[in-house]
Amino acid sequence: MQLRSGRLLPPSLAPPQGGTRSPACCPEDRLSGLPDDLLILVLVRLQCACEAARKSVLSRRWAGLWKQLPELTFDGVDGDSVKAALACVTRPTIELLDIRLKAMVAPGDVSSLLGAAAPLAPDKLIVTLEKSINPFEADELPCLSRTTSLQLTAQDLYVAPPLFGEFTSLKSLFLHSCRIDLGALLPVCPCLSILKISDYWGGDAITVHSSSLEELSMDITSCDAYDDGCIDIVAPVLKKVKVEAGRANILRVSFLAPVVEELCWSLKYNSLHLYSDFFMVTGEWCLGGIGFLMSLFPQLMDVEGDGERQSITEAIARLPVTNFSVLELYISAKAHVIGPLVSCLLQILPATQKLKLVMVCQSEEASCPYEQSESWRSDNISLTDLEVVEIIGFAGEDHELDLMEFIFRCAPALGTMSVTFSEHLSSEMVEEIFSISIRYPSVEFKIYVEDDSQDEDDSQGEDYSQDE
């Protein structure tokens, strides 16, 4: 018999207290003839401590059994009632304690509530609060020395680590919509292996220094610390990282995790300038798989205002890793040419082996200062590692063909290039495209035209490819 905590209840061989009752004597009370372990399992399945206590009216056999439950859930009751109930529990330890309060909590309420739970040494503790009355006064966490998993959801709650003692058994910590100084908390969690934070708010610096942490997930997109915001991660055994951050222009990152195996790093930029102030780049940047994949979702647009802007080179230099072998670009061009952006990124990321370029939105005709510029077209960069290029959504404009030729010229090890156009091509356009590709006979070159009548995953549309 398995409980929510995962623990199995052993079968009871002993008869119930008071001896065996004959079904003929009490045909209406067959449940009372069950072993205590089975009765406790029935009450646990109710997933409500209050409801389990009410079952005491069924029979004297049921009276007080709720005090022996290995799992206790309080849903929608007030804090004082929870503390009174916890004081009645007769078990020395419990497997799971799940508390969900609907009322607003005042400063000190959380400390008092968790303090009442601490003597029961819950293996897994879940606390969900509606909202804090005062988000600027900290509630001190009690020392839960035997708790292995702690999940705290509390809107606008400011909590502080214990002044004395350690969470010596804590392995998993989940914090949602609350504020805490991780730099002070993690040193008192010597065995912590999983840390997940969502809807984090407050605090200029997020410091994650842990010698035991193996998995880290942080959503700080709503964080209000942007005057001098920084993420400082030092975790020698960290293997899995997921970070989502907003307003990344002014977010500084320090990252030391030498054995990371899986990385997902999502940043949202308000504005980055490229080469000059002719246009800027905004959007979302995602890094996935350390040393493997970088996905960018940039938007090119006209510069507005005179505010200070960070360059795209500076932004990439501040990322936790830069040795990507796969670069994916999903570009919204907004009447701008894309050659300068692609050229710049390939220069910054010279280890790129595969380039995927997708035009998700573009105007019919580019009207950009770089349209006639020869600066990026004449760049002679070395892309010795680039082997595969996939381009989707080209419309056949001159600057797009120039970008194709630029890649052909700068990538001597290029083996395959496939281009999917968003419009049907005239015979003259096909001839011009292949006149470019034929100068590079070592490259397998294919062109397609998108077929709107079929799903993208099913077909690339009409194949214009020809043997060279």
**CA angle at residue 107 from 90 to 170, to 5 degrees?**
50
Task: Tell me what pLDDT residue 269 has.
Answer: 62
Task: Tell me what pLDDT residue 235 has.
Answer: 95
Run of H or E residues at 361:
strand 354-361
List the single range of 56-70, 357-371, 407-421 with lowest mean pLDDT.
357-371
**For residue 298, which of 278, 277, 273 has the smallest C-alpha distance?**
273
List the single range of 111-125, 294-308, 362-376 with lowest mean pLDDT.
362-376
Task: Tell me what pLDDT residue 7 has.
Answer: 59
Q: What is the mean pLDDT of the chain?
A: 76
**For residue 324, which of 345, 297, 358, 294 has the smallest C-alpha distance?**
294
Q: Which residues contact 61 (CB under 8 A, 6 or more apart)?
A: 16, 17, 18, 32, 39
* Spatial separation of the C-alpha atoms in residues 160 and 95, rounded to whole Å: 25
- E-strand stretches of 13-167: 71-75, 96-100, 124-129, 139-140, 149-160
* Spatial separation of the C-alpha atoms in residues 395 and 372, rounded to whole Å: 18
Please tell me which residue, 336 or 24, carries the higher pLDDT value: 336
Q: Which tens digits make up the pLDDT trace of 141-167?
A: 888 889 999 999 887 778 888 888 899
Task: Tell me what pLDDT residue 201 has.
Answer: 67
Task: Tell me what pLDDT residue 429 has.
Answer: 83
* Spatial separation of the C-alpha atoms in residues 368 and 56, rounded to whole Å: 78
Domain map (residue ranges) of the chain: 267-468
% residues pLDDT > 90 (the chain): 20
Both tokens of 20, joined, read 């065996």
Instruction: Name the band, by pLDDT with cuts 50, 70 and 90, for residue 31.
Output: low
* Spatial separation of the C-alpha atoms in residues 76 and 74, rounded to whole Å: 7
Strands 293-302 and 276-288: antiparallel
- E-strand stretches of 106-204: 124-129, 139-140, 149-160, 172-179, 194-198
3-class secondary structure, 208: strand
CB 260 within 8 A of CB 238: yes
Q: Check pLDDT > 70 for residue 172.
A: yes
pLDDT average, residue stretch 89-94: 87
List the single range of 20-24, 317-321, 438-442, 449-453 with lowest mean pLDDT.
20-24
Task: Tell me what pLDDT residue 263 has.
Answer: 82
Q: Check pLDDT > 60 for residue 123.
A: yes
What is the Cα 170 distance to its own chain's centre?
Answer: 22
**Range with top average pLDDT, 40-49, 150-159, 455-464:** 150-159
**Range with top average pLDDT, 164-168, 200-204, 353-357:** 353-357
Task: Tell me what pLDDT residue 454 has.
Answer: 43
Task: Tell me what pLDDT residue 101 has.
Answer: 84
pLDDT average, residue stretch 225-243: 81
Please tell me which residue, 316 or 159, carries the higher pLDDT value: 159
Please tell me which residue, 257 or 310, carries the higher pLDDT value: 257
Is this prediction's pTM over 0.75? no
Q: Which tens digits make up the pLDDT trace of 65-90?
A: 778 788 888 888 888 888 888 888 88
Task: Tell me what pLDDT residue 141 has.
Answer: 87
Please name every residue paired with 208 in a beta bridge, in sequence order, or none if there are none: 233
Both tokens of 79, joined, read 């804090």
